Amino acid sequence: MKKLLMLCFMIVLSSNFYAQETTKTTKEKTETAAAKKKKAAAEKEATDAKKEAAKAKKAAKEASDASGKATTEAAKKKSDAAKAKREAKAESTKADVKKTEAKAADTKAKALKDGTATKKSTAKSLKETTEKAPKVADKVTGEYNGKKVYTGPKGGKYYINKNGNKTYIQD
């Protein structure tokens, strides 16, 4: 009898378990459907956000390209202006030299006219013209101990040491 009672009790309990599982399944189904809807909405929002980001990125790239072109044009104008400035300075220097030469020639002509030409005035006028002459930069001709070697106007070779001084090299 105990066995029969125990068997009945187990059947009753097992049917309760099955009933609860079906309600859970229904709840899970509704929760799963709601979760799927939320997931689909989230995916749609993510896709929209990606599209917006791509549009923004494209606009930024176009703006960057336009800025780059403007910068390039500005740099080109700046280099053209610098080149014009250098040319104007060179022309000015040439004009100064010609003016000095003309002044020296005029002084020499006056001296010859007066008959009092001296070597001193001629030397002085020559000195003035050489002072106004533009300086020529030394040329880089090689490398010595990891430093650039320059060749001066008279052919001397040197490099700049760590103190910023010229150190001459013998061949």
pLDDT of residue 135: 58
Say how many C-beta atoms besides its own lie within 10 A of residue 31's C-beta. 10
Closest CA to 114 of 102, 106, 124: 106
pLDDT of residue 133: 46
Kindly report the pTM of this predicted structure.
0.29
How high is the mean pLDDT of the chain? 76
Over its C-alpha atoms, the chain yields an Rg (Å, rounded) of 48
pLDDT of residue 158: 92
SS3 call for 64: helix
Domain spans, the chain:
136-171
Angstrom distance (rounded) from CA 147 to CA 161? 8
Say how many C-beta atoms besides its own lie within 10 A of residue 59's C-beta. 10
Cβ–Cβ under 8 Å, residues 117 and 129: no
pLDDT of residue 30: 76
Q: Is residue 104 pLDDT above 80, yes or no?
A: no
pLDDT of residue 10: 83
Per-residue model confidence as pLDDT tens digits over 38-75:
888 888 888 888 888 888 888 888 877 877 777 787 77
